[in-house]
């Protein structure tokens, strides 16, 4: 099969799938943004980065920019077809940025698959969930509706779609869910596993080791969508009750979802202004964004891992912490409840209940929970039983993609792609 993978930040969710498809003998090519310089496990060609479009309203601007990206991706695809006689059997693209919108017009005979990560909702999910950060709820709903347009078009056009969790698949309306198969991206349980000899050297030179009283928190950015403001408000009571505890946080100072606070340069600055005078900051360590090895070791040394989220896309950090056998204290929001069962493989607390959160964290750090060992083992077993990369996710992902290819037979004639140097192709 000729398989084209499309993702502006490739490899993204295709990190493990792309090389496995190539290993099985398929001709795998990735189409990505010209500015994407991430290492790739397969040959890459690039479309020209779209120019930002400015509109009178931000929600119209958002939609216009996704359409523009879709056009640039299609222009690159057209060059692949016309210059190199490239005709994929299967196109599998992430629909989140509009890149798949016009690919059906370039290759009408190819099967079009989309990674359907989430369909935003104006009610019942993240929009309006946290009254503290909502400025204008009507405008937030307008923006959400506009942001959904390309996502809905993407799944309407496709032959089939993939979502990583039942919660995320369920964000789409029932009439579209019949197209969606749920398969998690997969967790490498061999890399992310309990490590009794793990240690982390902090920027101040202090060394933390597995078994120490360490509380960990991870988010791409330190922001309300991942409960950073709630976590920070719980810390004063935690640090007062546990004078030997060390808190290690990973995450950038910007925003990945939502917006910046109106009265501070970042949510980190805002929360330090609010609770910083009640914290022993010599025991609170902000590491920023770190490489994967450092992140893994932080998770492995933690005695308790805290994960909070709005009703939204589930973070890989939760599943990886579970794979590492962490003692999880998490928000009882819907995406979390799909994996964590309170008292069975972790502890759940209401998202906004700060006393409940601090109490659960204190109990976990104090080693007073007689079920701590069982909860840790059950958390890892949850991953091994249904989310493990090599045992479950990758074989299912490969089978799902191969299902849409042509019948087995001799490979079709060459497509001219040998003229493209790996990682240097720029068809568009």
CATH code of the domain covering residue 375: 3.40.50.2000
Same domain assignment for residues 168 and 20: yes
Please indicate, yes or no, if residue 133 is contained in any of the structural domains.
yes
The range of the structural domain enclosing residue 214 comes to 199-386
In the structure, what pLDDT confidence band is assigned to residue 412 with cuts at 50, 70 and 90? low
pLDDT at 422 > cutoff 50: no
Q: How many domains does the chain have?
A: 2
In a domain, 70, yes or no: yes
Same domain for 376 and 392? Answer: no
Say yes or no: 208 and 180 in one domain: no
Q: How confident is the model at residue 198 (pLDDT cuts 50, 70, 90)?
A: very high
168: which DSSP letter?
A: H
Question: Does residue 107 form part of some domain?
Answer: yes
Res. 428: pLDDT tops 80: no
Question: Is residue 341, in this structure, part of any structural domain at all?
Answer: yes
pLDDT digit string (tens) for 341-395? Answer: 999 999 999 999 999 999 999 999 998 899 999 999 999 999 999 999 999 999 9
In a domain? residue 233 = yes
Of 54-68, 134-148, 256-270, 375-389, the poorest mean pLDDT is in 134-148
Instruction: Looking at the structure, tell me whether residues 32 and 60 fall in a common domain.
Output: yes
Please name the helix (run of DSSP H) or strand (run of DSSP E) that holds residue 297, with its range, or none.
helix 292-301
pLDDT the model gives residue 63: 86
Instruction: For residue 423, name the pLDDT band (cuts at 50, 70, 90).
Output: very low
Residues 9 and 83 both lie in one domain:
yes
267 and 162: one domain? no
161-193 confidence digits (pLDDT tens): 999 999 999 999 999 999 999 999 999 999 999
Residue 427 inside a domain? The answer is no
Q: What is the pTM for the complete model shown?
A: 0.91
Q: Are 232 and 310 part of one and the same domain?
A: yes
**C-alpha angle with apex 159: 157 to 165, nearest 5 degrees?**
100
Report the alpha-carbon distance of residue 282 to residue 264 in Å, rounded: 23
| 160 shares its domain with 214 | no
- Considering the domain architecture, whether residues 163 and 304 belong to the same structural domain is answered as no
What does the DSSP assignment read for 229-264? HHHHHHHHHHHHH-TT-EEEEEEESS-SSS---TTS
User: Average of pLDDT values for 66-72?
Assistant: 96
Same domain, 127 and 78: yes
Q: Is 414 exposed, middle or buried (0-12, 13-18, 19+ CB in 10 A)?
A: exposed
Same domain, 180 and 106: yes
Mean pLDDT to the nearest integer, 134-145: 80
252 domain-assigned: yes
Note whether 140 and 289 are same-domain residues. Answer: no
Q: Among 124-133, 149-158, 298-307, 328-337, where is mean pLDDT lowest?
A: 124-133
Place of tokens 């709820």: 137
* Alpha-carbon Rg for the chain in angstroms: 23
Helices 372-386, 316-323: crossing angle, 10 deg rounding: 110
Q: Report yes or no on 49 lying in a domain.
A: yes
């Amino acid at each position: 099969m000729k398989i084209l993978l499309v993702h502006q930040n490739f490899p993204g969710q295709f990190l493990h799938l792309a090389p496995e498809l190539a290993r099985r003998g398929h001709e795998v090519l990735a189409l990505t943004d010209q500015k994407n310089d991430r290492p790739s496990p397969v040959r890459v060609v690039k479309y020209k980065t779209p120019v930002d479009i400015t509109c009178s309203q931000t929600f119209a601007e958002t939609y216009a920019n996704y359409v523009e990206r879709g056009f640039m991706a299609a222009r690159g695809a057209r060059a692949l077809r016309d210059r190199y006689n490239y005709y994929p059997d299967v196109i599998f693209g992430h629909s989140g940025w509009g890149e798949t919108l016009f690919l059906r017009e370039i290759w009408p005979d190819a099967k079009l698959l989309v990674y359907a990560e989430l369909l935003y909702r104006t009610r019942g999910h993240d929009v309006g969930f946290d009254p503290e950060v909502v400025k204008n709820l009507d405008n937030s709903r307008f923006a959400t509706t506009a942001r959904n347009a390309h996502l809905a078009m993407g799944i309407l056009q496709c032959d089939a779609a993939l979502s990583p969790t039942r919660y995320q698949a369920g964000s789409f309306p029932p009439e579209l869910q019949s197209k969606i198969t749920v398969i998690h991206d997969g967790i490498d349980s061999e890399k992310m596993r309990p490590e009794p000899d793990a240690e982390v050297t902090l920027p101040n030179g202090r060394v933390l080791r597995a078994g120490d009283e360490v509380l960990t928190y991870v988010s791409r950015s330190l922001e309300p969508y991942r409960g950073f403001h709630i976590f920070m408000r719980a810390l004063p009571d935690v640090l007062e009750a546990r004078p030997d505890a060390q808190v290690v946080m990973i995450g950038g100072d910007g925003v990945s979802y939502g917006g910046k606070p109106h009265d501070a340069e970042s949510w980190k600055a805002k929360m330090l202004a609010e609770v910083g005078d009640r914290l022993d900051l010599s025991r609170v360590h902000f590491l920023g964004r770190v490489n994967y090895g450092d992140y893994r070791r932080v998770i492995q040394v933690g005695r308790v891992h805290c994960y909070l989220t709005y009703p939204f896309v589930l973070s890989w950090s939760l599943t990886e912490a579970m794979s590492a056998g962490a003692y999880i204290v998490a928000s009882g929001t819907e995406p979390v409840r799909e994996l964590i069962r309170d008292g069975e493989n972790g502890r759940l607390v209401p998202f906004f209940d700060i006393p409940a959160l601090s109490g659960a964290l204190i109990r976990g750090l104090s080693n007073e929970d007689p079920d701590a060992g069982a909860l840790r083992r059950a958390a890892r077993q949850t991953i091994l039983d249904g989310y493990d990369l090599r045992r479950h996710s990758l074989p299912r992902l490969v089978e799902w993609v191969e299902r849409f290819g042509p019948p087995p037979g001799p490979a079709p004639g060459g497509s001219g792609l040998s003229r493209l140097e790996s990682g240097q192709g720029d068809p568009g």
